[in-house]
Each structure stands twice: as structure tokens, then as C-alpha cells.
Homo-oligomer: A and B are copies of this chain.
């Protein structure tokens, strides 16, 4: 159904051998200028492009990066993807994106599928289920095959690979510090991701920081299902005389600011709100949300750079792995004093 020009056809039409044509296209100094010109002319005429598959098969290199994301509707991951894509395409790499949808099984499937041999390396964040089951054999296989692998955000200590993480613990410390500094005494921490590595780290940071201060207390509110638990969240906020809320993820942050508005609390006068989010929320909430920015795009770009680095230093197979930490920053807006 599909017909593309090949070297063979060019060669035939020009009465040359395939290899001469191939070399001409690369302007090989071995070939006479005249031949080179003839070849280029016909190649242009037919809009010849080398078959990427054949080149990859030959060179054992696909110039493609596999990216596995737990979710794409989450703005954080979308931004990371954007960062990766920018950096990759700048270097002539394309990316294959798979969305695991937080499923262990899909993650395994995708890793296997891409590993034969569609990609040169992987960038990924673990799915929720994988983190909970802690089954990591599919990544050990990759390591055994010497396939470069970068984990970001949701990483595992059990896999020895390059990592890019966010300083989640510090981030929530800073957030709590700010709240305390501006006079808050009773802080609610709400989260829909208490069971993820990052969720735990963020909570830890908050707890540690609070413990350093007298007269400041912290209450936790885990949320599993926003829709069904709306009432409980509401009464939680109403009954606890809270003067600040820290949302550990974008959804939680949204809920927080939304509820506060609904209950008629004045923000930030009566309640201060800080949220972990890089999304639209911060800009388009009212009042504008003070956020912990995770610099998702930078993170993506950094991960891509690390991978490209590994791919170009193909020599040393037994390298030392790195973990880079992306610093968050607290972006002050109108929802805090």
C-alpha cells in the first residue's frame, strides 16, 4: 500500500551500485563530485529519506526514548513530559510515551514491549500499584540488559539507576515554616497520596517541622475519593478550628481552596492555604494560590539530559549512578500572608 524510494531504486535508475549511492548521500570524499551531484539530485527529486527501521537495525540505535508516565491528566506529569520532549527533540531524539494509568501490569507490559528494541533508554515514574506491590523485576531485567534507565519523582531505592527527584521533604518544611512565620498555629495537612513515596516524604517534612515549634499542631486528613467524601472534608475543616491548610498534591490543594471558599472563610485572613502544584490551579484559583512549585519542566529536561548523557557515553557499562535533586520553590501568592 505504501511505497517509498529506496537506495536500491535510486541505484538502478542511476546505473550505480547501492553502496555508491549510499556514500554519495553522505558526501563521502571517496566519491567524485559529479556522481555526488547526480545522486543528490535524484534523491531530492524523489524526496528520499533513509528508512529509519533499517538504519536502527543496522546501528542498534533507535534515537528514541521510552517515557512511562503513571498519568497524563495530572498536570505535573504533563509538564514533565513537555520538558523531556523539548530536550529530546533538541537532540534529534523522539519519544514514545506510554501511560501506565497507575497499573503494575501495564507498566510491565510496556517495559517489555519497548525493550525489544524500540527504544534506546527509559525515563519513568513508577505507577502507584508498582510502588505498593514493590515488584520491580521488570526494571532489574532492564539493568541486566544494560539499558539506560532514569527514574523520576516516584523512584525506588531498590533499583540502582540514575534518578531525578524533588526535595519533597524540604519543600513541605519550607511551606510549614512559612505558615508558622505568618502566625498560623493549627495546620491541616490534606492529601490524596499519603500512600506514595512522595506523599510520605511530604508528610514527614511537615511533621518534622511542626515538631520544632511549640504551640503549633498538625492534623492529617487523607482523601480517597473527592466526590464521595466532600461532606466529611467540609465538616473536618469546620470542626477543627484550623487556620492553615497544606495540600500535598494538586487535587488536595484544589479541594482545600474550594472548600474554604465555600465555607465562607476569608483567605488568607482566616485561613492560609498552600498547595503542591504546578498546574493551572495556582493561577486560576481565587484567590491565587501560594504553591510549592516542583519545576516539572526542569525536572523533565534534567532527566532527558541525564539519559542522553548515558546514551552518548556508551563505553562504560558499569557506571556509577547519580541522583539529582530538583529544588522546589515556594511561590507566594494571595492565599497566604
Q: Using a CB–CB distance below 8 Å, which chain A residues touch chain B?
A: 1-4, 47, 49-54, 56-57, 60, 62, 64, 72-73, 75, 78-79, 81-82, 85-86, 89, 94-99, 101, 106, 110, 112-118, 141, 145-147, 226, 250-251, 254-255, 257-258, 261-262, 279-281, 283-286, 314, 317
Residues of B within 8 A of A89 (CB): 98, 106
* A141, B48: Cα distance in complex, Å: 12
Which chain B residues lie closer than 8 Å to A78 at the CB level?
Answer: 72-73, 78
Q: A286: which B residues are within 8 A, CB to CB? A: 257-258, 261-262, 285-286
Chain B residues positioned under 8 Å from A261 (CB to CB): 286
* CB atoms of B53 and A57 under 8 A apart: yes
Contacts of A54 in B (CB 8 A): 57
Q: Please tell me if the beta carbons of B73 and A117 are within 8 angstroms of each other in the complex.
A: no
Contacts of A280 in B (CB 8 A): 75, 250, 254, 279-281
A96 near B95 with CB under 8 A, answer yes
* CB-CB nearest in chain B for A81: B72
Determine how close the nearest CB of chain B comes to the CB of A146; give it in whole angstroms: 5
Given contacts A96-B96, A280-B281, contact A116 B49 (CB under 8 A): yes
CB < 8 Å neighbour of A62 from B53, B251, B279 = B53
